[in-house]
Structure 1
Amino acid sequence: MLLACTKKLSEVLKIKLPDITPHSREPLCEWHANLFVFDRRKGVVMMNNQTRYCVVLYGLKAEHFKIFGNITLSCIKQTLLAEGFQKEIIEKYIDYCSEVVFTKTYDRSVMSQMNDMIYLTSHWIEEYLPTSEICMVDLNKKLGVVPVGSLKYTYPIDNLRKALTDLRTAEQR
């Protein structure tokens, strides 16, 4: 999994991001991530580059950022289960993306749309608070049905369903 982080997020993660983005990568396993603060708590919005599906983590503390790669994969898995994907498809996807590699952001289109989702998140998140959960599953599901202009106003959840189905079909060949 390639996780392109903003400068703000990399500073909180306390990592130095490489200048070069790896060339060989699977588009479905590429995500961008940005830090936001709401009600004095830190959160991260991650957006899948191919499908524009978002996953929101909120209430992160210093100890969470130390194991951010594991938390990321766990939250994606939890969200996909809540969206109704078959467990075997989710397991294959998580195995496929098992190693998290951090890099600098490189796609301005994704960054722009992710910032739009952060704006929506800042308005909708109050509906789901207070919570002790880091993964905002219900908010993720709500963001999954926000049309994305750069993908011909399709829904991110529909794009994700198609992409995971295509991935499964390709593996069966």
Structure 2
Amino acid sequence: MFFMCNMITLRCTRKLQKYLGVSFVENPDSPKAKLGDWYTNFIPTLSGDLIIFVSEKTLLMVAIPVWEADKLLPMFGFRVVNLLKMIGVAQEVIDKEIKHYSEIQFAKTASRSILGTMNEIAYHLQYKAEYAKKKEDFSLSNIELEMSNYLWKSLDYRYPSDIAKEILYLSYLH
């Protein structure tokens, strides 16, 4: 059996799967990255369409403009690194996590709860886009940081940023 230790699974909605023109693997490998699989969806906004990614374990959210879909893997990795830096994760820990992001496999979604969370995030992004005075005022980094400090019931009212740091530090520094 061929074993990929540097592969991340993106669990796409059907809408995004069709947009990207990708095939799903039937039995995706178990996640090696400590933030787990990432759920992805296509989100239309007034400031431009986005692809959002939500960590299954922490509900951290990152986004890329849809026009950068041809560079999906490097842009996704860049956004994850950027967010982890913004929430205060040490570079040595980021390096250990991001090494698992060198390849992608696509799979269908497997959690209705995370799909519901993605819908809430989509509404938030659409609201922010609608009320941005100019397209330039719609900062993905600012929104990602804001959402990392959003209390989620499904996380027992904890912040995604706190859970991510806890998981990453316990996994890589002990």
Residue matched to 1:32: 39
Shift of 1:40: 6.8
Q: State how far apart, in whole Å, the 1-side matches of 2:47 and 2:14 are.
A: 19
Q: 1:114 — aligned with what?
A: 118
Q: Name the CA shift for 1:124/1:96 in 2 (closer, same or farther; >3 Å).
A: same
TM-score (normalizing by structure 1): 0.85
Checking the alignment, whether the CA contact within 8 Å between 1:55 and 1:79 is kept in structure 2 is: yes
CA RMSD of aligned residues (A): 2.2
Code of the aligned partner of 1:50: K
TM-score normalised by the chain length of structure 2:
0.85
Query: Is 2:60 the partner of 1:53?
Result: yes
Question: Equivalents in 1 of 2:121, 2:75: separation in Å?
Answer: 20
Kept in 2, the 8 Å contact 1:52–1:156? The answer is yes
**Alpha-carbon offset, residue 160 of structure 1:** 0.7
Task: Give the conservation status (yes or no) of the 8 Å contact 1:77–1:94.
Answer: yes
Q: Quick one: which amino acid aligns to residue 68 of structure 1? A: L
Q: Residue 128 and residue 4 in structure 1: after superposition, are their counterparts in 2 closer, same or farther (change >3 A)?
A: farther
- 42-51 vs 8-17, which deviates more? 8-17
- Partner secondary structure for residue 103 of structure 2: coil
Give the Cα–Cα distance (whole angstroms) in 1 for the partners of residues 95 and 51 of structure 2: 23
Q: CA offset at residue 41 of structure 1?
A: 2.2
The runs of at least 4 consecutive aligned structure 1 residues that moved more than 3 Å come to 125-129
Shift of 1:124: 2.1
Change (3 A) 1:164 1:7: same
**Which residue is 2:135 aligned to?**
130
C-alpha separation in 1, matches of 2:125 and 2:118:
10
**Structure 2 unmatched runs, 5+:** 1-7
Q: Which runs of 5+ in 1 are unaligned?
A: none
Q: CA deviation at 1:132?
A: 9.8
Match of 1:24, as an amino acid?
A: S
- Secondary structure class of the residue paired with 2:135: coil
Q: Paired residue for 1:83?
A: 87
State the distance in 1 between where 2:28 and 2:116 align: 22
Shift in Å, 1:65: 1.6
Residues 55 and 23 (structure 1), Cα distance of their counterparts in 2 relative to 1, 3 Å cut: same
Question: Aligned partners of 2:86, 2:132: CA distance in 1, in Å?
Answer: 18
Q: Would the alpha carbon gap of residues 28 and 21 (structure 1) be closer, same or farther in structure 2, given more than 3 Å must change?
A: farther
- Match 1:11 to one of 10, 18, 24: 18
Give the share of equivalent positions with the same residue, in percent: 22
1:169 equivalent in alignment to 2:173: yes
Give, in angstroms, the shift of residue 129 of structure 1.
4.9
